A = this chain, B = another copy of it.
């Protein structure tokens, strides 16, 4: 964003008084009425660790109450986000696997809940490949701009897991059952153009002009009457907010069970031992 020039300010300059330096895994800035949350573990393809889930929740809560009009999530480096960091499964707490699954489930539930309840227009600037939970939550964004280099992959079955991020509801609603199951059950990886045809992506841009075109547009959008934007977003969300929360709860319950299954254990072990390629 800094490359865009202009009056970039760390969020430390906001009345709320917090600064982007409060985050270990994110870069958060506000300028031109836009708060940008940049996933900042580029050497790990922005895989989401337990700490990073918590920081994204905190950054979204902060953005929801700051003075910005639009909130953007994007990734540092060549990847948008490679999804749940599978090393999260290797940090077994005192309570053992069951404790790990329970805590992981509760964190995921809170993470998705934050997207469902986010009150302002939320925009994904998908700067590269996206995997897993970073794909499923896109259906809870209001705009999704993607570089032509982006891909969209939800290999839940392959890893012995099950659909999350409300995708068991949002994907069939958006793209029809026959296309949604190919992604959610059978691990189909989509190109950016395919994801756009299916409604997951708003528009695809050439990689060379992606950042310039997207940010020019977002700066213009951020000048629109903010209350009109907030109220229209809330109207749209209100029809299905309660359903989304129920879907989230059901998905997390199912996934927590999955994490304790032999199927999942074996699939994740195969992944770490390089015997499985996503």
Contacts and interface: CB of A to CB of B under 8 A. Distances in A.
Q: Report the interface size class on chain A.
A: 35 or more
Contact of A232 (B121, B156, B228, B239): B156
B186 A221 contact: yes
A141 interface: yes
Contact of A173 (B173, B229, B232, B250): B173
Contact of A175 (B176, B181, B251): B176
Given A176-B174, A199-B175, A238-B250, A181 B243 contact: no
Interface in A175-199: 175-182, 184-187, 198-199
Q: DSSP class of A's interface residues: helix, strand, loop or mixed?
A: helix
A142 B185 contact: yes
A176 B157 contact: no
Which of A161, A185, A221, A226 lies at the interface centre, i.e. has the most chain B CB atoms within 10 A of its CB? A185
Contacts of A263: 225-228
A16 B247 CA distance: 35
Contact of A168 (B187, B235, B247): B235
A151 interface: no
A185 B225 contact: no
Contacts of A185: 121, 142, 224, 229, 232-233
Contacts of A163: 232, 235-236
A178 B157 contact: no
A125 B18 CA distance: 55
A143 interface: yes
A159 to B, nearest CB: 8
B179 A202 contact: yes
Nearest to A203: B182
B184 A232 contact: yes
Interface string A143-182: 1100000000000111111110000111011111111111
A110 B221 CA distance: 32
A188 B30 CA distance: 25
B178 A144 contact: yes
A221 to B, nearest CB: 5
A224 B178 contact: no
Contacts of A243: 239
Contacts of A181: 121, 142-143, 202, 233, 236
B225 A160 contact: yes
A191 to B, nearest CB: 14
16 contacts: A142-B177, A144-B178, A157-B228, A158-B225, A160-B228, A162-B232, A168-B232, A168-B235, A176-B198, A177-B236, A179-B202, A184-B236, A187-B224, A226-B263, A228-B263, A231-B254
